[in-house]
């Protein structure tokens, strides 16, 4: 593994641990040349997923695009890197179970499902862009749905 600090190819693995039901291995590495530590994630290379965008064009699924959207939604929120990775892994696993071609709207729905569980504020940030809320009424309607569902979970009428 190439060190992100000094570009040396010599490192040692300090710690390894499975994540997400052992679908991902997290490795903590230390560069032999500069002694700095960094983390890598190892996952099985899975089936290539093709995303069908709203305009009908197709492109390969990229975890980095999901990560970028999540980071924007989670800005200044107390969501851990592990939670972020877990969301991305869950979404990617769900998509692989569905098939080789998925719509971009399905990806957005899957991301929102996970965000709703982890952080409601991040969920609303993501949803406001993804669902393209065009008025305050639509936004308030979404909030009311969340509050209503939360009350049903707790058993409050």
The pLDDT of residue 51 is: 94
24-31 and 11-19: which strand pairing? antiparallel
pLDDT single digits (tens) 26-62: 999 999 999 999 999 987 766 688 999 989 999 999 9
Q: Which pTM was predicted?
A: 0.64
Q: Kindly report, residue by residue over 70-123, the tens digit of the pLDDT.
A: 999 999 998 888 889 899 989 988 898 887 899 999 999 999 999 988 888 898
pLDDT over 90 at 147, yes or no: no
pLDDT of residue 56: 93
- Spell out the domain ranges in the chain: 1-44, 48-154
**What Å distances lie between residue 128 and 22, 32, 54, 71, 122, CA to CA?**
33, 46, 17, 15, 10
């Amino acid at each position: 593994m190439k060190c992100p600090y000094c570009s040396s190819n010599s490192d040692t693995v300090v710690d390894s641990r499975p994540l997400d039901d052992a679908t991902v291995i997290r490795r903590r590495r230390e560069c032999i040349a500069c002694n700095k530590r960094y983390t890598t994630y190892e996952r099985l290379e899975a089936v290539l997923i093709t995303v069908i965008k709203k305009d009908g064009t197709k492109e390969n699924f990229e975890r980095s695009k999901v990560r970028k959207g999540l980071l924007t939604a989670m800005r200044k929120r107390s969501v851990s890197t592990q939670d972020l990775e877990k969301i991305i892994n869950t979404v990617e696993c769900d998509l692989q179970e569905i098939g080789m071609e998925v719509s971009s709207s399905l990806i957005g729905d899957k991301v929102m499902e996970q965000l709703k569980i982890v952080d409601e504020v991040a969920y609303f940030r993501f949803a406001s862009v993804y669902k393209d809320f065009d008025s305050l009424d639509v936004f308030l309607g979404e909030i009311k749905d969340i509050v209503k569902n939360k009350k049903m979970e707790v058993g409050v009428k």
